[in-house]
Structure 1
Amino acid sequence: MKLTKQTDYAFRILMFCAAGGDRLSRVADISRVYGASEPFLFKILHPLVEGGVVQTVRGRNGGIRLARPASEITLAEVVRLTEDNFTMAECFDLDDADCPLIENCRLTAALREALDAFLAVLEKYTVDDLARPSAAVINLLSMIEAGPPTGAKPGRA
């Protein structure tokens, strides 16, 4: 199973917000950090907001932040919100399946078990696990957001 670009960037958005703590994050900053267009990020934000993972604050000084602590947002929850289709094989969709073995095939059961195991592993990890343990990630996101120090040359500390 391959996760979509939408899910990949959803994780990135959530890591950015987690690294910022309670501070509001701006989509423009996230766009700049990850090199993704703002419209693309807004598209990804929609299911995260609807799912109660991200909160938006409107206005001149508005932005986004996690709606709950990062330690309460599982990776499985994010995947379920951002992935449209968990059909690993034609036989997952009984209405469109065109296989004569569908009623007696063990492949469907094996694939369903694999998908359940995949999601079960993702239930064990949270957004906090992605952002918290690595001070380097937090520092990198903070440094990128703030921009280079005045007078600093790119690539030099």
Structure 2
Amino acid sequence: MKLSAFVDVCLRTLMLLGSQRDQQVTTREIAEQIGVPYNHVAKAVLELRNRRALEVTRGRYGGSQITEHGLQLSVGGLMRDLDDRDDVVDCVSEAGVPCPLLAHCKLRSALRRAREAFYAELDSLLVADLTATSAKALLPFPLVH
């Protein structure tokens, strides 16, 4: 199962802010610390603020801080909500031609069940569980296709 780039950035943002709970961190600082382009982080911060996972203060001394609600979010639930892809595989070509096997395909439903099992495995894991240690190792940002 491959995470979307947006889900990845949201999780990295929450993990970073969870490890720096007593600090306000600017979007630019988040981007630098997690090694992700600023505009991707800005979009993630907005989404997480709308979900009440972050408290965002504007202005010269502003920044983002993770909320208690954000710390208590289920990782599986959050990933499920943020992943806007309908299917794990594309059943339509780039030219818009549907797969000839689509009518009797059992792979799509099996992959949907597998994706749900993946998320279900992460349902009991909270964002707070991911921030118990403050490892500063940077993972490479995935390429967006």
Q: Secondary structure at the match of 2:68?
A: coil
Q: 1:105 to 1:28 in 2, by over 3 A?
A: closer
Which structure's CA Rg is the greater one?
Answer: 1
Mapped to 2, the partners of 1:125 and 1:46 lie a distance apart of 23
What is aligned with 2:140?
Answer: none
Size of the aligned set, in residue pairs, is 134
Please give the root-mean-square deviation of Cα atoms over the aligned residues, in Å: 2.7
Measured against aligned partners, the alpha-carbon deviations of 1:81-104 in whole angstroms (never above 9, x if no partner) come to 43221411345xxxx883565454
Residue pair 2:87, 2:112 contacting (<8 A) in 1 also: no
Displacement, 1:42? 0.3
Q: 1:124 to 1:66 in 2, by over 3 A?
A: same
**Structure 1 alignment gaps of length 5 or more:** 142-157
What is aligned with 1:15?
Answer: 15
TM-score (norm 1): 0.69
Displacement, 1:67? 3.0
AA aligned to 2:52 is G
Residue pair 1:55, 1:67 contacting (<8 A) in 2 also: yes
What is aligned with 2:76?
Answer: 76
**Structure 2 alignment gaps of length 5 or more:** 138-145
1:49 is the counterpart of 2:49: yes
TM-score (norm 2): 0.74
Mapped to 2, the partners of 1:105 and 1:37 lie a distance apart of 39
Q: Secondary structure at the match of 1:128?
A: helix
Q: Secondary structure at the match of 1:87?
A: coil
Residue pair 2:18, 2:131 contacting (<8 A) in 1 also: yes
What is aligned with 2:37?
Answer: 37
What is aligned with 1:151?
Answer: none
